[in-house]
Chain A
Amino acid sequence: DTGVSQNPRHKITKRGQNVTFRCDPISEHNRLYWYRQTLGQGPEFLTYFQNEAQLEKSRLLSDRFSAERPKGSFSTLEIQRTEQGDSAMYLCASSAPGGHEQYFGPGTRLTVT
């Protein structure tokens, strides 16, 4: 499968713990995006990278959230001191150079208890 992959698919954690998610984009896609989706809503933009540079961050991305893409390939999204309100599906997408179509991965469902 050459699509976008995300790991883990599901994560249950206790409030206050730190969690990290990984996204592997489609090979040779230079842009990578993170979105968050809560039940019944459309995905909301969090941040995006062009190669290794993080070019935009949403106001939704509080200082407890950090994203990296150190080598311009895979990306990680870390949430520190998780809160119950962080429970959501975290989606990753990628797009090719010059392309606007964003292809999404299956998401990581986070449950904070």
Chain B
Amino acid sequence: GESVGLHLPTLSVQEGDNSIINCAYSNSASDYFIWYKQESGKGPQFIIDIRSNMDKRQGQRVTVLLNKTVKHLSLQIAATQPGDSAVYFCAENRSGGSNYKLTFGKGTLLTVNP
């Protein structure tokens, strides 16, 4: 079915370390993926996206990797800071046709220890 899930529900890291958050998806038709950060009591905040014709994309301190062979997506955060503590969601979208809805996974809670 159409689903996006996460391998780990929680991740705890030390400040300054790199973080890797993983995501698995099952829909082969998915061609666009997004990572969101959600802090308590707030709406999801766009971090970075990637299309299926790419396998890597870098932003400021963040990198998204896409492995279509095993339907796996990851978000890497360099030099993790306390302000990075939040729940991270991956979401998938099929940009073809008229379907623009996002399907979210359950999220990973990232805790950064000072």
Q: Are B100 and A31 in contact (CB under 8 A)?
A: yes
Q: Quick check: A101 and B34 within 8 Å, CB to CB?
A: yes
Contact B44 A91 (CB under 8 A): yes
Complex Cα–Cα for A58 and B104 (A):
14
In Å, the complex CA distance between A43 and B36 comes to: 11
Q: Are A100 and B49 in contact (CB under 8 A)?
A: yes
Is B107 within 8 A of A56, CB to CB? no
Binds A, one of B12-20, B78-86, B87-95: B87-95
Contacts A48-B100, A100-B49 known; A42 to B43 CB distance under 8 Å? no
The total of chain B residues at the interface (CB under 8 A) is 25
Q: How big is the A interface, by class?
A: 20 to 34
A43-B44 in contact given A100-B93, A100-B95, A101-B34 (Cβ < 8 Å): yes
Closest Cβ–Cβ distance, residue B25 to chain A (whole Å): 13
Against A, the Cβ 8 Å flags (1 = close, 0 = not) of B16-60 are 000000000000000010101000011111100100000000000
Whether the Cβ atoms of B101 and A56 lie closer than 8 Å is yes
Q: B102 near A107 (CB under 8 angstroms)?
A: no
Query: Inside 8 A of A104's CB, which chain B residues have their CB?
Result: 36, 43-46
Collect the chain B residues with CB atoms within 8 Å of residue A93's CB: 43
- Assess the A45–B43 pair: CB atoms within 8 A: no
10 shortest A-B CB distances, which residue pairs?
A42-B104, A104-B43, A45-B101, A104-B44, A106-B43, A42-B89, A107-B43, A43-B104, A105-B43, A100-B32
Q: Which A residues have a C-beta under 8 Å from some C-beta of B?
A: 4, 31, 33, 35, 40-45, 48, 55-56, 58, 91, 93, 95, 100-107
* Chain B residues at the A interface, C-beta cutoff of 8 Å: 4, 32, 34, 36, 41-46, 49, 89, 91, 93, 95, 98-107
